[in-house]
Amino acid sequence: MLSDSLIRSLKLGDKKRHTDRDGLVLELRPSKKQLKKIFIFRFQWDKKPQTITIGEYRTVGLAGARDIALAYRNMVNSDIDPRSKNPEVEKARITFGVVADQWFQKYKGSWKDSARNRHFKSLSRDIIPLIGDKSIDDITKADLLLVIKPHEDLGHHDVAHRLYARLQSVFEYAVGSSLTENFPFIGLKKALIPKPRIINQPAISSNDAHEMMKIIKKTNSTKIVKLYMELLAHLFTRPKELREAKWKEFDLQNAEWNIPEERMKMGLPHYENPILPIAMFAYLVCGKLKLNQVLHDNHDDPANY
């Protein structure tokens, strides 16, 4: 039996043909640019072996190929020559999962690593398991809500709207590529709860800063977390930048912290100089943290202490 992981692992020099079920066979065909992995359907007609090419793995997908092979097998069992055009078989060729993979492969080179990983995880975790095997032509608003609503019901409205945008982008690609005329999004956004308006917390005034530091010292947090909050209050970096910091980024002898660009928002430095001077108080806090080995190379989160 074939599996997606097995198919992806196949390379030049491996066995040429790999059988599945219902007459489905995967055939490896070397080409100048790459190794092509082609699905074919094998059957007997008039007591002679026959084959029909179904399509390439990267465009048809394993689930789609199995659907087509099963449709062909049913035709043979009903004494119908599957080499004749059959609309239902042709329709089964293009599933949402196949189109979503094409969309991902097309655009992944234009995304940063973080965005590429986010799209991949969302597709494989939240979308494909629910509607990946459905024909792109047959997907309805109800199917899309099946993907989106569970997150909305949990109060994850931002996630729900990102899923909506991702699904819409896949369908825009499908329509633009003439893979379908189906676009089940008219009125769908009105069925979603609007994203909550983001209200930024007001900045702490200079008059309130002293009181804030006293409150930090009085919290029930661990000593490590208190030091972390004190350091954050003096350095004014984003919490994630400090949480993921490594000791090798710090030059305590010169009281400097060199923040790598890839950990900054948008992957770009938001300071003129990514080397951040460390004030005397922050320097002392760093010393205390170093003693407790929080900011070390295994990315331990102070919140875990």
Q: What percent of the chain has pLDDT over 70?
A: 82
For 238, left (φ over 0), alpha (ψ -120 to 50), or beta?
A: beta
Q: Is the pLDDT of residue 280 over 70?
A: no
Q: Show the CA angle centred on residue 271, arms to residues 266 and 273, nearest 5°.
A: 120
Q: Show the CA angle centred on residue 9, arms to residues 3 and 12, nearest 5°.
A: 125
Neighbours of 305 (CB within 10 A): 15
* DSSP per position, 68-106: HHHHHHHHHHTT--TTS--HHHHHTT-BHHHHHHHHHHH
CA distance 143 to 158: 19
| Residue 42, both tokens | 């094998």
**C-alpha closest to that of 88 among 70, 101, 110:** 70
| Residue 206, both tokens | 């200079």
Return the pLDDT at 263. 66
Q: Is the pLDDT of residue 155 over 80?
A: yes
Identify the weakest region by mean pLDDT among 35-44, 52-61, 157-166, 272-281: 272-281
Express each pLDDT in 10-46 by its tens digit.
Answer: 988 889 999 999 999 999 988 777 788 999 999 998 8
Express each pLDDT in 190-222 by its tens digit.
Answer: 999 988 787 777 778 878 888 888 888 888 888
Within 108-183, residue ranges assigned H as helices are 113-122, 128-131, 141-153, 157-176
Chain CA centroid to CA 170, Å: 13
Task: Please provide the average confidence, as pLDDT, over all residues in the chain.
Answer: 82
Express each pLDDT in 221-254 by its tens digit.
Answer: 887 788 788 878 877 778 888 788 887 887 877 8
CA distance 259 to 250: 9
| Residue 196, both tokens | 């909550």
Return the pLDDT at 100. 93
Q: Is the pLDDT of residue 58 over 60?
A: yes
Q: 250 near 257, Cβ under 8 Å?
A: yes
**C-alpha closest to that of 83 among 51, 128, 110:** 51
Residue 250 host element (H or E)? strand 250-251
Return the pLDDT at 290. 66
Q: Per mean pLDDT, which of 66-75, 209-218, 265-274 is the most reliable?
A: 66-75
Choose between 201 and 51: higher pLDDT: 51
Choose between 56 and 168: higher pLDDT: 168
The amino acid at 230: E
Return the pLDDT at 41. 94
CA distance 107 to 67: 27
| Residue 123, both tokens | 């597709």
Return the pLDDT at 96. 92
Which domains are present in the chain?
4-91 (3.30.160.390), 96-190 (1.10.150.130), 206-288 (no CATH)
Return the pLDDT at 300. 45
Return the pLDDT at 86. 60
| Residue 100, both tokens | 């979503």
Express each pLDDT in 88-129 by its tens digit.
Answer: 555 556 789 989 999 999 999 999 888 899 999 999 999 999
The amino acid at 115: A
Say whether pTM exceeds 0.75: no
Return the pLDDT at 297. 45
- Overall average pLDDT of the 47-73 stretch: 88
Return the pLDDT at 59. 78
Return the pLDDT at 301. 43
If you search the block for the tokens 């008039």, which residue do you land on?
46
